[in-house]
């Protein structure tokens, strides 16, 4: 373990093996850090929620997964509910100035670029990449392996495996992300078919997804895509047609 002499590690904080906490970082007593977590200068992990109704006597926590890197001035607030956790998964990379508010759940292998802002109760699926300055309304969900463009404003749910940009605009499948995860050609082809049918064949997207599930799907990835539409407290972002000869379902530079 490597703790800088100017870092503040409060009594009660739990740090796994080989953690690094650099100059002037703060790890509060409510933080739980896995093995190999790196906290860069000025970061604050486990601070109180930014909620006017929050009682500081509430006992709640932040949990950071193994191997995650928290760059300069990252803030991760503890849960606003007694016994609750704000969670950042393993092998994540939160770039300078990123903010994870109370009760968020960030999956494994997620990248949040500089100054990304997650409001309370936001969930971000594993292997998702979020561009710099993107902001997320409370209670929004982002599915796994999504890509969200820089400076995007997200107030609706973003399904798995898609790209989103601007104000709640889905602009195609995240084909680069799918390729990097090693998805087979058959799975990608089925995702393309589902994407077109859900978003472009008319009707309510939640109902379309339920109908496709009822007909049966071939892959677990497609089932995950379709099941996402049944959950959440907010609406589902809509796709805009930007046709591309490469992927047939729409794409745009993010």
> pLDDT tens, 152-179?
999 999 999 999 999 999 999 999 999 9
The dihedrals phi and psi of 20, each to the nearest 5 degrees, come to: -125, 125
Do 115 and 192 sit in the same domain of this protein?
no
Statement to judge: residues 166 and 204 lie in one domain:
no
Residue 114: inside a domain: yes
Residue 247 lies in a domain: no
* Distance set, CA 15 to CA 18, 30, 169 (Å): 9, 11, 40
Confidence of residue 248 (pLDDT cuts 50, 70, 90): very low
Domains of the chain: total:
2
240 confidence band (pLDDT: 50, 70, 90): confident
Asked if the model's pLDDT at residue 251 lies above 50, the reply is no
Task: Please check whether residues 87 and 11 belong to one and the same domain.
Answer: yes
63 three-state secondary structure: strand
Cβ atoms 43, 25 nearer than 8 A? yes
**Predicted confidence (pLDDT) per residue in 18-64, tens digit:** 999 999 999 999 999 999 999 999 999 999 999 999 999 999 999 99
Gap between the Cα atoms of 211 and 217, Å rounded:
11
Q: Same domain for 19 and 82?
A: yes
Look at residues 105, 40, 99 and name the one whose alpha carbon lies nearest to residue 75: 99
| Residue 245 confidence (pLDDT) above 60 | no
Report the CATH number that the domain containing residue 145 is assigned in CATH: 2.160.10.10
Q: Which domain holds residue 76?
A: 2-177
Contact 154, 136 (CB under 8 A): yes
The structure's pTM equals 0.94
CATH code at 203?
1.20.1180
128 and 199 share a domain? Answer: no
Residues 122 and 48 in one domain: yes
């Amino acid at each position: 373990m490597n703790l800088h002499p100017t870092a503040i590690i409060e009594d009660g904080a739990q740090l796994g093996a080989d953690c690094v906490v650099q100059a002037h970082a703060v790890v509060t007593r409510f933080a739980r850090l896995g093995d190999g977590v790196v906290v860069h200068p000025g970061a604050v992990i486990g601070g109180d929620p930014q909620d006017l109704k929050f009682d500081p006597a509430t006992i709640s926590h932040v949990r950071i997964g193994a191997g995650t890197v928290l760059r300069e001035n990252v803030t991760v607030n503890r849960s606003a509910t007694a016994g609750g956790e704000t969670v950042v998964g393993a092998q994540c990379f939160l770039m300078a100035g990123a903010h994870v508010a109370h009760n968020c759940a960030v999956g494994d292998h997620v990248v949040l670029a500089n100054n990304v802002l997650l409001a309370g109760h936001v969930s971000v699926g594993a292997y998702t990449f979020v561009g710099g300055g993107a902001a997320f309304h409370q209670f929004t969900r982002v599915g796994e392996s999504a890509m969200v463009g820089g400076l995007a404003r997200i107030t609706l749910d973003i399904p798995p495996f898609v790209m989103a940009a601007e104000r709640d605009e889905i602009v195609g499948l995240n084909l680069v992300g799918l390729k990097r995860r090693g998805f087979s050609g058959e799975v990608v082809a089925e995702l393309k078919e589902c994407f077109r049918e859900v978003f472009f064949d008319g009707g309510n997207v939640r109902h379309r997804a339920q109908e496709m599930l009822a007909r049966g799907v071939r892959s677990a990835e497609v089932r995950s895509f379709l099941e996402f539409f049944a959950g959440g407290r907010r609406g589902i972002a809509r796709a805009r047609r930007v046709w591309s000869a490469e992927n047939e379902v729409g794409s745009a530079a993010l």
